[in-house]
A and B are shown apart, each in its own frame.
Chain A
Amino acid sequence: MTMFPFAAPALPLHTAGPYVAAAYIAFVVIVLVYVAIMAIRLQRTERELVALRRDVADARGPAAGGAASGGREAGGAGPESREAGGAAADAAGAGSGGREAAAASEDREQEPVA
């Protein structure tokens, strides 16, 4: 077994500095990568939440119907196309102020659910 002399003379600062910097930078990079991955996942959750609000508005009713039904017609009736339809509804509803009205009605509608 090779034994390394632990009590070797200390490395001079100009030699040791890059190693110490590398260790701390490696730690910070690992932490940043983790936080970035978690942020991406959180963004995905947020997008799904927005899609859910839109789908609920579509499914629930006439209050949000103006914009939503227009979007549904444009996008079709399937679950995947409903998202696309909702996006189309956003685009279509923006002109008539339908999106704001739909969002307000969604807020009211979600209260009993929560």
Chain B
Amino acid sequence: MIGLAFALVFFYAPLDADQGFIQKIFYLHVPLAIVSLCGFVFGGALAIGHLRSGERKWDMRSYVAIHLALIFGIAGLVTGSIWAKASWGHWWVWSDPTLVSFLIVLLLFATYQPLRFSIEDPERQARYASVFAIVAGAFVPLNFIAVRAAQEYVHPRVLTLTGGNLPGPMRLTFLVSVLAIALLYLTFWKYEMAAKSARGQLRALRRTLLGDDAVRPLGRSAAPS
């Protein structure tokens, strides 16, 4: 899917009249930012599952969702900075509300892991992290709406409520790119969940077969065990 998206970007989508070739970065940067923000909200929604059920697997899901959203967010930030340097001549522009608000969201979620790490008791760690994930996840759409409502922005608008400013081939390419990045996110999420689950099962099996002494105690960790 990623390959298809990249092929559409470079061989199908026409060059933008204003931006020229540099606009090709948008097909990567914007989907990364969108998927990252959706990932933060997804993590908050999964955290609700943990608080409702008390099951640790929901905490694990929420943790992985936020962890991945952070990685995608950093990738979005890096690609956006490269575009800004080419288009505006600056790596970073503090006067652009979209940029700064995205950075705020990213820094907010960057505190998620240190928060977890600061709490030793796994139960409390999971509970506090879930509360944080829900509140911070709710902040993401609010932040998005606030920025959209702001008048003085310079960030280009790719999508609007009236259908966006993209012509047909560009829109198709953009949608395929969003879908590809979203699928990549979900694949990584499943992959990491499977890896963590396998590790947990392995520890449980070792404990069952050989007793508690055979399982090395986990060090203090931000990741749920």
Contact = CB atoms under 8 A, between A and B. Distances in A.
Nearest to A48: B202
B216 to A, nearest CB: 8
Contact of A1 (B85, B95, B192): B95
Among A10, A11, A26, A38, max chain B CB count under 10 A is at A10
A11 to B, nearest CB: 5
Interface string B87-98: 111000101000
A10 B22 contact: yes
Interface stretch (A13-21, A65-73, A86-94): A13-21
Interface in A3-58: 3-4, 6-8, 10-13, 15-17, 19-20, 22-24, 26-27, 30-31, 34, 38, 41-42, 45, 48-49, 52, 55-56
A52 B21 contact: no
Given A27-B32, A38-B195, A55-B214, A8 B71 contact: no
Interface of A: 1-4, 6-8, 10-13, 15-17, 19-20, 22-24, 26-27, 30-31, 34, 38, 41-42, 45, 48-49, 52, 55-56, 59, 79, 113
B202 A49 contact: yes
Given A1-B95, A10-B21, A41-B195, 10 more contacts: A4-B87, A6-B154, A10-B16, A16-B21, A20-B21, A30-B78, A31-B184, A48-B206, A55-B210, A59-B210
B21 A30 contact: no
Interface in B23-82: 24-25, 28-29, 32, 71, 74-75, 78-79, 82
Contacts of A6: 18, 87, 154, 156
Contact of B206 (A7, A19, A42, A52): A52
Nearest to B215: A79
Contacts of B95: 1-2
Contacts of A41: 195, 199
A110 to B, nearest CB: 9
A11 B83 CA distance: 11
B154 A4 contact: yes
B79 A16 contact: no
Among A10, A23, A38, max chain B CB count under 10 A is at A23
A55 B206 contact: yes
A23 B29 contact: yes
B93 A23 contact: no
B58 to A, nearest CB: 21
Nearest to B184: A31
B21 A17 contact: yes
Contacts of B214: 55, 79
